[in-house]
Structure 1
Amino acid sequence: MPTSVLVVSDTHVPQKARAVPSEVWIAVERVDVVVHAGDWTGVELLDQFEARARLLVGVWGNNDGPALRERLPEVARTTIDGVRVAVVHETGAKEARETRMDRAHPETDLLLFGHSHIPWDTTSPAGMRLLNPGSPTDRRRQPHATYLTLTLDDGAVRDVELHELPVKRPGVLPHPRMTT
């Protein structure tokens, strides 16, 4: 039976964001596996994900302090439904990323990473799929905050979907002359 996966990264709660969007929590409860590619920034958020996810695979990021680093690895490796998965926070510069990651993560079918807050979907020369979900809370220069879902099925990565969250602009009210 296929395995449904949610991938998030760079949530930065509570450092830069107050909370994970409700859309993400709804997705957490619908999937078989949740992957968080680092920069949680708060231990409480790790606790919330552990309480809600059926299975959680996570790593620490560059903004995660000692408490998170004690509980999470820098690199997580697992095999899910025949797919050899590695999770890291940083992969370095985008130039030559695929070749560099082939060397750093041999015998990996799917590399999930974060750090840049920029969604990424490529395949390395060795055939490894590289995916970055962006960030559901800190879109930076991106038009939307994002997360990924995908399906792992009998050794294959399928149904990769980038989900864009609505842009919320707190404190912005409609122009007084505009009517709805």
Structure 2
Amino acid sequence: MQLNHIFRTRDLVTKNDSKLGKHWENAKDDLLSGDEFLDQGFTRPKVLILLPFRSIANRAVNRLIQLTPGAYKVNVEHMSRFSDEFGNHDDEDNVNTNELTGSVKNSNSQKSSKPPDHQALFDGNVDDKFMIGIKFTRKSIKLFSDFYSSDLIVASPLALLK
């Protein structure tokens, strides 16, 4: 739903900007007085998604990228940086190497006392102070864009306090 809102709003803004550009000199007073061209706010972001942890933000952004129509996601910029900062860092923690024996054991094989929903929620990167701007252009998705030029902001409530 958020993606549809972003794409429809962007198309409306570009269409109205082209109309205003064509008729700017001829009937400036008449065009600017109409309500049909009041399509932009003071800032560009249209959608704010609040999530508690980086691991959940990672899943949400990856799902948004998957759901984006193919015409808009030819190139996803800064994906490696996103994976580094928001990826699950528990992969290194789950594999423990015993230097004396050289054997590798998986720490997930141990029985946890926590319920499955707790494990699913707190599995992965649980940093709770993050904010990322995402900008959709004609042929690319730009992660880590400036917040005032982003279409979508994914953040934690803690990061919004600063």
Asked whether the two chains share a fold, i.e. TM above 0.5, the reply is no
Higher relative helix content: 2
- TM (normalized to structure 2)? 0.22
- TM (normalized to structure 1)? 0.21
Higher relative contact order (CA 8 A, sep 6+): 2
Higher relative strand content: 1
| Higher-Rg member (1/2) | 2
